[in-house]
Amino acid sequence: MKHSSPFARIMSIPGMPMTVVLIVSVIVFQLLNPVFLDGRTVGNYLTNGIPILLLTLGVSIVIIGGGIDLSVGTVAGLSAGTTMFALVNGAPLAVGIAVGCGTGLLFGLVNGILVAYLRINDFIVTLATLNIAAGLLVVLSQVQPLQGVTVPGFSELTKGSVFGIPTSFFIAGVVFVIAHLLLAKTIVGRRLYATGISAPASNVAGVSVPHLRLFTFAASGLLAGIAGVLFASRLGAVQAFLGIGYEFIAIAGAVVGGITLAGGGGSVWAALVGGLFLATLQQGLRINNVDPVYFSIVTAVAIVFGVVFERQVRRVILRAALNRTALSTNDRGRSADQHMNERQPAERVAAVTAPEGSKNDAK
Amino acid sequence: MTYPAKPTSTRSLMLEVRDVTKHYEGVTALDHAGLSLGAGEIHALLGGNGAGKSTLISILSGVTKPDSGEIVLGGEMISVSGPLAAMSAGISTIYQELSLVPALSVLDNIYLGRELKRKTLGLPLTLDRRRMEADVRDLAADFGVTSSELRQPVSEFGALKKRSIEIIKALAFDTKVLILDEPTSGLEEAERRVLFSHMRSMRDRGVSLIWVTHHLEELFGLADKATVFKDGRTVGTVDIASTSVGDLIGLMFGAAQEEFGGGDTRKITHLEPSHKRRVVLSARNLSRGSAIRDVCLEVHEGEIVGLAGLAGAGRTEVVRLLMGLDARTAGTVELDGRRLSLRNSTAAYRAGIAMLPEDRKQLGILADLSTAQNISISRLSTVASAGFWMSRRKERALAEDYRRQLGIKTPNVEARIGNLSGGNQQKAIVARCLNTSPKLLIFDEPTQGIDVSAKVEVHALVRDYAANGGAAILIASEIEELLELSHRVLVMKKGQVVGEVRDIPAAIEAGDFSRIKSEVLTLSAAGQIS
């Protein structure tokens, strides 16, 4: 294929169109109110947004693998609750964090086992675990008020800093980098995308689809657990209804960023950009004194708008740009093929064995 | 090229396509192409992928507009502005992908969009099913659909009935020209014969048929003429009565190709007697519930074992057991003498079994991944460092290797595989299998839906794999293909192996092709279809 224009190539990267929108919206909000990019404000709203970003990432991983996870919001809420519960009852910091992360991971594993091995529809399974987690948090908060933790260092998780970077930024950064490398650069990531594109075809090609399904839900659960710990640290108290509704913000962020609900498309970058866009939008509205009752309406409109924008950019601009230079319509592909058909098939097959290089690599 | 005029050519002209040209973004799909179709004529439209057949069909059926050219139907110049205009002018198309609504009844499908209505309260609100049924009953009966079947949903019927329903749908209205795009795809041998008799009876009704097919041997005894397209141009029109498969292939591809049909064995390797060769696969008493019962199967090195049988005989089900895609309820599988548990497909690949699945689009390619990524997916460790870290460079090099070896035609191995032609996609899947260095390779319908020249190339890949000592299992619905490629054929029926035909290359060489063909057909159809 001849190379298409650099613009088209850049914009064809999943999440790129939304990145442009994100940058434009930041500029607009800054022009409307210069307080917007003030260091403290930015730090604040990002710190608040980070747990949701982690949920967005978790949901995105599941969606890329061809599934859906509705339970992330309430599982994060419950994880916040269990962390608090452990700390209130005198557990050391590390144990408290482990309990929170473990709660999330446990829910992820349950989701994954039910979906992957018992083959129950993921929408149903995670709708059930959403409610189980929500219910358990209510029960837990009635056992004991989930507040008043004095364990040293706990609130530092969100309010302190590491190497001059706010701690939660640092945690989120590490998580996102690991997730990016995993999805974009490893065997697991490739199999994940393949499964999302077509589970039956991947299965025929030798990919262990159930293992991957389990992995995606476990990862999503663990991320919800981490988000829960950060919630607890930032809020200092966990209410009975924490986390309800967050799954929709997370899914919306993923979709706005350019992660296709059908599976197999998108990236960690897309999840990050989509999540950041929603957070930025809310912050922009807040700073410009828009009544918070309008937030959900504006956010909803932005979601639809964002999805349409992402798709249209990818469809219209890209196709036009690519078509000019490369084979992308069927007819053109066929013609190219036909030309080659004319050649004598002499060089067709010399010997049909695995190439030497590949054999060596295998050993 | 001139061809002797036959009496058939004196038929009056029904449809004439003159000088039609169509460009797609600078590529010429049709270049002053023409086609003359007589009344009541079965006219085959032939050509390789990209020859322009599909473009011509979509122009005639109103889906695409030509840049220039004329279409004359029944002596009048017509302008086909859209699908509805085409239909009301009398041109109907039956596409390869069936376009019936599964949940609706046969009758409702036939009248979809053209329903007859009855007045209720002075408004035409109610469907007049009684009148619709009365109108098509006789026609339907002629094509094997009873009046009680007219009321059943389409989803209850098989591929043949669905084609018949589409035919009735076309003939229920004034259709002068019916375009059939690969009408036999998905049909078994016996069903094909029924379809062909339907085509004859349409011809007898004076309908002109344009028949697009890749199966050249089907034309003889049925089609009247054939027009060959190449590179968007009309190469020529021939009378079927005075031509041969070889001539047609010559017209389609310019150069003489490898054998096609008729049982040539030039390329097949002769094998030593089986007791001298190593057994690669030994499967005993494979069962899956009552669907597959006690199937025993041995494959030796260098051997291609064909599985014959009708649709539903259990051929694909057997190989799915061997791949670990379905769980077996009984039986053992040994590969190179080692017992395999085959818990899933990953285990099968790891043990040394690979499969090229049937239904390339759904089960074969991963359409959104690149060609290179499709090749590496079954053994990613060949393109990774430290067992998990993907190397784009290695992946590209691997794909380039196979591109050269197997002749995969793509300008860029890192472009989306969904954009390649069917034959090249299939070659990439072969590469995917070979990359796992399999001891046993299963080919399930390897040439389904790919054009004649790609088919020949895929045949060569299958033969070369075996010639290099590989063991292979082949499933092919086309009996000629199966016999030409296999050393030995097992015939399946109702989930069991009911017979075996050995030493096929020798038999074919001795000129016994039609004898073993009828032997296999008799075995697979015994007691079912005459």
- Report the CATH number that the domain containing residue A151 is assigned in CATH: 1.10.3470
Q: Do A204 and B368 touch (CB under 8 A)?
A: no
Structure tokens given for A356:
């030497």
What is the least distance, in Å, from the CA of A208 to any CA of chain B? 6
**Domain, as residue range, for A251:** 15-355
For B416, name the nearest residue in chain A, comparing CA atoms only.
A328
CATH 3.40.50.720 matches B276-525: no
Band of the pLDDT at B376, cuts 50, 70, 90? Answer: very high
Interface of B with A in 464-493 (CB under 8 A): 464-465, 468
**What pLDDT does B344 receive?**
93
Distance CA B259, CA B452 (A): 11
Q: Please check whether residue A190 touches B, CB under 8 A.
A: yes
- What average pLDDT does this structure show over B168-192? 85
Burial class (CB in 10 A: 0-12, 13-18, 19+), A229: buried
Indicate the length of chain A as a whole number: 363
Evaluate whether residue A267 is within a structural domain: yes
Distance CA B69, CA B89 (A): 18
Q: Please check whether residue B260 touches A, CB under 8 A.
A: no
- What average pLDDT does this structure show over B22-38? 81
**What pLDDT does A233 receive?**
93
Q: Name residue, tokens 């004898």.
A: B515
Taking 80 as the threshold, does the pLDDT of residue B146 lie above it?
Answer: yes
**What pLDDT does A333 receive?**
36
**What pLDDT does A314 receive?**
62
Taking 60 as the threshold, does the pLDDT of residue A224 lie above it?
Answer: yes
**What pLDDT does A347 receive?**
32
- What average pLDDT does this structure show over B431-453? 90
What is the least distance, in Å, from the CA of A265 to any CA of chain B? 9
Residue from A212, A338, A340, A347 whose CB has the most chain B CBs within 10 Å, to mutate:
A338
- Is the Cβ–Cβ distance between A33 and A287 less than 8 Å? yes
Average the pLDDT over each of A181-190, B40-49, B252-261 and give the range with the smallest value.
B252-261
Residue from B382, B395, B420 whose CB has the most chain A CBs within 10 Å, to mutate:
B382
Q: Do A206 and B421 touch (CB under 8 A)?
A: no
Eight-class DSSP state of B153: B
Q: Please check whether residue B348 touches A, CB under 8 A.
A: yes
Taking 90 as the threshold, does the pLDDT of residue B28 lie above it?
Answer: no
Evaluate whether residue A259 is within a structural domain: yes
Taking 50 as the threshold, does the pLDDT of residue A345 lie above it?
Answer: no
Q: Higher-confidence residue: A68 or A37?
A: A68
Residue from A204, A207, A330, A356 whose CB has the most chain B CBs within 10 Å, to mutate:
A204
- Provide the number of structural domains found in chain A: 1
Evaluate whether residue A360 is within a structural domain: no
Distance CA A35, CA A284 (A): 10
Q: Who among A190, A194, A333 is closest to B390 (CB)?
A: A190
Q: Please check whether residue A153 touches B, CB under 8 A.
A: no
Closest CA to B424 of A323, A340, A350, A342: A340
Percentage with pLDDT > 90 across chain A: 51
- Is the Cβ–Cβ distance between A84 and A148 less than 8 Å? no
Average the pLDDT over each of A232-241, B241-250, B268-277, B330-339 and give the range with the smallest value.
B268-277
Interface of B with A in 23-42 (CB under 8 A): 24-25, 27-29
- What average pLDDT does this structure show over B500-507? 89
- What average pLDDT does this structure show over B128-142? 87
For B359, name the nearest residue in chain A, comparing CA atoms only.
A201
Task: Sketch the domain layout of chain B as residue ranges.
Answer: 9-90+174-258, 102-169, 276-525
pLDDT in tens, B75-86: 888 888 888 888
Q: Please check whether residue A314 touches B, CB under 8 A.
A: no
Evaluate whether residue A310 is within a structural domain: yes
pLDDT in tens, A108-153: 999 999 999 999 999 999 999 999 999 999 999 999 888 888 888 8
Residue from A2, A191, A361 whose CB has the most chain B CBs within 10 Å, to mutate:
A361
Q: In which order are the strands placed within the sheet that holds B330-335?
A: B292-300, B279-288, B330-335, B338-340
Cα dihedral value B191, B192, B197, B201, nearest 10: 100
Q: Please check whether residue A319 touches B, CB under 8 A.
A: no
In A, which residues are within 8 Å of B54 by CB distance?
331, 334
In B, which residues are within 8 Å of A349 by CB distance?
405-407, 457, 460-461, 464
Q: Who among A187, A197, A349 is closest to B407 (CB)?
A: A349
Average the pLDDT over each of A136-145, A244-253, B9-18, B85-94 and give the range with the smallest value.
B9-18
Taking 50 as the threshold, does the pLDDT of residue B262 lie above it?
Answer: no
Q: Who among A207, A265, A358 is closest to B435 (CB)?
A: A358
Structure tokens given for B361:
């689009």
DSSP bridge pairs for B228: B46, B236
Evaluate whether residue A350 is within a structural domain: yes
- What average pLDDT does this structure show over A192-200? 95
For residue B329, which phi and psi values (nearest 5 degrees)? -95, -20
**What pLDDT does A317 receive?**
57
- Is the Cβ–Cβ distance between A206 and B351 less than 8 Å? no
**What pLDDT does A161 receive?**
82
- What average pLDDT does this structure show over B399-405? 94
Q: Who among A185, A347, A351 is closest to B390 (CB)?
A: A185
Percentage with pLDDT > 70 across chain A: 83
Angle at B130 between CA B129 and CA B132, to 5 degrees: 60
Q: Please check whether residue A288 touches B, CB under 8 A.
A: no
Percentage with pLDDT > 90 across chain B: 41
Evaluate whether residue A252 is within a structural domain: yes
**What pLDDT does B273 receive?**
59
Considering only CA atoms, give the Rg of chain B: 25
Longest dimension (CA), chain A: 81
Spatial neighbors of B246 by CB under 8 A, at least 6 apart, are: B256, B260
Taking 50 as the threshold, does the pLDDT of residue A352 lie above it?
Answer: no
In A, which residues are within 8 Å of B349 by CB distance?
206
Taking 70 as the threshold, does the pLDDT of residue B49 lie above it?
Answer: no
Domains B9-90+174-258 and B276-525 share a fold: yes
Q: Please check whether residue B390 touches A, CB under 8 A.
A: yes
**What pLDDT does B270 receive?**
57
- Is the Cβ–Cβ distance between B270 and B469 less than 8 Å? no
**What pLDDT does A319 receive?**
58
Distance CA B328, CA B340 (A): 12
What is the least distance, in Å, from the CA of B265 to any CA of chain A? 18
Q: Higher-confidence residue: B103 or B125?
A: B103
Interface of A with B in 332-361 (CB under 8 A): 332-342, 344-345, 347-355, 357-359, 361
CATH 3.40.50.300 matches B9-90+174-258: yes
Distance CA A188, CA B138 (A): 60
Positive or negative, the CA dihedral A120, A126, A131, A134 is positive
- Is the Cβ–Cβ distance between A228 and A75 less than 8 Å? yes
Q: Name residue, tokens 């109108």.
A: B135
Average the pLDDT over each of A165-179, B12-26, B148-162, B261-275 and give the range with the smallest value.
B261-275
For A193, name the nearest residue in chain B, comparing CA atoms only.
B369
Distance CA B317, CA B479 (A): 19
Distance CA B55, CA B120 (A): 44
Longest dimension (CA), chain B: 85
Specify whether the backbone of A214 is left (phi greater than 0), alpha (psi in -120 to 50) or beta: alpha
Q: What type of residue is A158?
A: T
Eight-class DSSP state of B326: S
Chain A to chain B Cβ contacts (< 8 Å): 200
pLDDT in tens, B302-343: 999 999 987 778 899 999 999 999 999 999 999 999 999 999
Q: Do A206 and B349 touch (CB under 8 A)?
A: yes
Q: Please check whether residue B21 touches A, CB under 8 A.
A: no
How many Å from the N-terminal Cα to the C-terminal Cα in chain A?
33
Band of the pLDDT at B522, cuts 50, 70, 90? Answer: confident
Q: Who among B28, B48, B437 is closest to A341 (CB)?
A: B48
Range with top average pLDDT, A308-322, B25-39, B229-243: B229-243
Taking 70 as the threshold, does the pLDDT of residue A331 lie above it?
Answer: no
DSSP string over B248-297: HHHHHHSS--S--SS---TTPPP---GGGSPEEEEEEEEEETTTEEEEEE
Average the pLDDT over each of A157-161, A284-288, B184-188, B506-510 and give the range with the smallest value.
B184-188
Eight-class DSSP state of A34: G
Average the pLDDT over each of A314-328, B30-44, B481-495 and give the range with the smallest value.
A314-328
Eight-class DSSP state of A264: S
**What pLDDT does A324 receive?**
47
In B, which residues are within 8 Å of A190 by CB distance?
373, 376-377, 380, 390
In A, which residues are within 8 Å of B456 by CB distance?
345
Q: Name residue, tokens 């409610």.
A: A131
User: How high does pLDDT run on average in chain A?
Assistant: 83
Angle at A196 between CA A194 and CA A202, to 5 degrees: 40
Taking 50 as the threshold, does the pLDDT of residue A1 lie above it?
Answer: no
Evaluate whether residue A106 is within a structural domain: yes
In A, which residues are within 8 Å of B436 by CB distance?
206
